Amino acid sequence: MAGRTDQLESTVDGVLETIMEKFHGHDSTSFDYDTSSSSIKSNMYRAFGREKPPFADGKSSDVFMWRDKKVSACVLGVATAIWVLFELLEYHLLTFACHVIIFSLSIFFLWSNTSTLMNKSPPQIPELALSEDIVLRIASALTIEINGVIEISRDIASGRDLKKFLAAIVFLWVLSIVGSCCSFLTLFYICFVFLHTVPVLFEKYEDQVHSFAETAESEIKKQYAFFDAKVLSKIPRRPLKEKKVA
């Protein structure tokens, strides 16, 4: 009887020692857990498949990300003035160009004649010329962009990817509705304002955007799976012909 009691006490002591070792071992590995969780957080979902915020480098990023507030404010102010001038005041482009040229020529003409009468040297009008290199760069960039759009359109029209086809149809349909509600200049100005606001807000609230995008993507996949099961899978298709074995 006494031997069984001693054996039971030794078993209980062994279990208690094992529990204490596991408890202390958990404390020692807490830092590793924190490190692994931070690495998981650093590799968390990123919207649109990117690890860097939009407009990371370049001169355009300095304007759109408001790194130089004076330049960004001037660019946005000029765009707003152009929109107000042509959209709200209904000033025509050709009329505006002619008036600007008339005003500029008049100022330089009067300035030159006034300086001659006052025995002063006339103002040096800078020589303006459009270099061939700039024209070739613009033409090359436009060619690349146009060819890219044509290639994407050909890929969509070939019927290989149903998702791209549906996305293109929805995008063009929404764009046609927006185009019927406002003019091209207003649409361009809205896009320009978005470029001056959305990237900055995205960089400021990046984690919230990623979380919302992950939820939205999972919901879209769920709805597409439901649509595929209820509609697309029921569309009759021709059976694939088996290849003849030589």
Got the DSSP string for 190-221? HHHHHHHHHHHHHHHTHHHHHHHHHHHHHHHH
pLDDT per position as a tens digit, 173-197: 988 888 888 888 888 898 899 888 8
Nearest in space to 152 (alpha carbons), one of 170, 135, 173, 167: 167
Question: Considering only 36-45, 80-89, 137-146, 209-218, which range has the smallest mean pLDDT?
Answer: 36-45
Q: How confident is the model at residue 78 (pLDDT cuts 50, 70, 90)?
A: very high
Secondary structure class of 42 (helix, strand, coil) = helix
| Highest mean pLDDT (candidates 44-48, 77-81, 87-91, 113-117) | 77-81
Question: Considering only 137-141, 154-158, 197-201, 203-207, which range has the smallest mean pLDDT?
Answer: 203-207
> Do 54 and 201 touch, CB atoms closer than 8 A?
no
Nearest in space to 224 (alpha carbons), one of 177, 157, 146, 166: 166
- Stronger pLDDT, 55 or 203, i.e. the higher one: 203
Element (H, E) at 40: helix 30-42
Q: Residue 170: pLDDT above 80?
A: yes
pLDDT at 28: 43
Residue 200 identity (one-letter amino acid)? V
pLDDT at 9: 54
- Could you give the percent of the chain with pLDDT greater than 70? 72
Is the pTM of the predicted complex or chain greater than 0.85?
no
Token output for 197: 């606001």
Counts of helices then strands in the chain (DSSP H, E): 9, 0
